[in-house]
């Protein structure tokens, strides 16, 4: 039987997920940066432009997610106000001071940056900014794509060249991975699915590392359960004044 289109996509995702989870050294290293940050009362900053902003939201105020997360989400760099506008804006320099306008980045912090192409100015500038401040930088990117294109930043650097650890999402060049007969343009992007899974794997490993040291991290529960809401309310009393978007 010829596989249906969605089964072909499932197979592609499964193959890429297998490769992504073989990055055991990188996952453990990224987890150690996060566990050390939480151990030292630092902050996890998370950002991305365009569709990659969803990975910043993936770890923010989420059931099972760490409380000490500050997402860097600027509407101009997202999709909900102007999708085409965000494509223009992510290529501009000068956004790092704006994104960190209300926060002070230190060597105790970690910055998670997601960018499939890794070529646009905003994520590259953010990584450079974090490097200057001594923060650890975790990159989630598509190495095949990034290595096939030129940087759009004045430095000539690409994002993967600035990370303390780089996690590859093993995407196709251009992200979409599936060709169907009768359509010349590929469909079925994989960066969000694989990127989210890698990022959650890092956070889970970081949690295990902390527990092994006898440290219980502050983690949100589901606000849609009665017990979870009370649990979260206690965390929010502490963190709402410290996290702009809470």
Provide the Cα torsion 147, 153, 155, 158; round to 10°.
-20
Q: What is the CA 79 to chain-centroid distance, rounded? A: 16
Among 3.10.20.580, 3.40.50.10490, 3.90.1150.10, 3.40.50.150, what is the CATH number of 15-239? 3.40.50.10490
Q: Average model confidence (pLDDT) for the chain?
A: 95
Q: For 215-240, what is the HEC assignment? A: CCCCECCCCCCHHHHHHHHHHHHHHC
Cα gap 153→49, rounded to integer Å? 15
Spatial CA neighbour of 115 closest among 160, 165, 80: 160
Q: pLDDT-based confidence at 226, cuts 50/70/90?
A: confident
- Residue 1 is predicted with a pLDDT of 59
In percent, how much of the chain has pLDDT > 90? 91
- Residue 170 is predicted with a pLDDT of 98
Cα gap 49→37, rounded to integer Å? 24
Alpha helices (H) along 134-225: 143-146, 191-212
The model's pLDDT over 179-207, given as tens digits with 9 standing for 90+, comes to: 999 999 999 999 999 999 999 999 999 99
Q: pLDDT-based confidence at 2, cuts 50/70/90?
A: low
Q: pLDDT-based confidence at 119, cuts 50/70/90?
A: very high
Q: Is 222 exposed, middle or buried (0-12, 13-18, 19+ CB in 10 A)?
A: middle
**70, two tokens:** 């500050």
pTM: 0.96
Is residue 120 scored above 70 in pLDDT? yes
Alpha-carbon distances, residue 243 vs 64, 76, 100, 110, 237 (angstroms): 18, 20, 12, 15, 11
The model's pLDDT over 74-111, given as tens digits with 9 standing for 90+, comes to: 889 899 999 999 999 999 999 998 899 889 999 999 99
Cα gap 114→98, rounded to integer Å? 18
């Amino acid at each position: 039987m010829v596989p249906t289109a969605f089964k072909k996509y499932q197979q592609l995702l499964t193959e890429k997920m297998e490769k992504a989870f073989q990055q055991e050294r990188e996952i453990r290293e990224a987890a150690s940066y996060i566990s050390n940050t939480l151990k030292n009362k630092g902050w996890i900053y998370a950002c991305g432009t365009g569709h990659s902003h969803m990975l910043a939201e993936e770890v923010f105020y989420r059931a099972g997610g760490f409380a000490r997360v500050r997402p860097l989400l600027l509407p101009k760099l997202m999709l909900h106000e102007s999708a085409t506008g965000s494509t223009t804006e992510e290529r501009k320099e000068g956004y790092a001071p704006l994104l960190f306008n209300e926060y002070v980045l230190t060597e105790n912090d970690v910055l998670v940056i997601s960018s499939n192409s890794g070529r646009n100015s905003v994520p590259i500038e953010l990584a450079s900014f974090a490097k200057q401040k001594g923060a650890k930088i975790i990159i989630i990117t598509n190495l095949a794509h990034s290595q096939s294109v030129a940087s759009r930043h004045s430095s000539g650097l690409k994002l993967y060249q600035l990370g303390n650890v780089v996690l590859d999402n093993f995407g196709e060049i251009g992200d979409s991975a599936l060709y169907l007969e009768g359509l010349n343009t590929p469909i079925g992007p994989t960066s969000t699915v694989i990127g989210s899974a890698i990022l959650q794997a890092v956070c889970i490993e970081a949690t295990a590392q902390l527990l092994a040291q006898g440290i219980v991290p502050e983690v949100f529960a589901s606000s849609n359960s009665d017990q979870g809401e009370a649990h979260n309310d206690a965390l929010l009393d502490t963190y709402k004044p410290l996290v702009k978007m809470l």
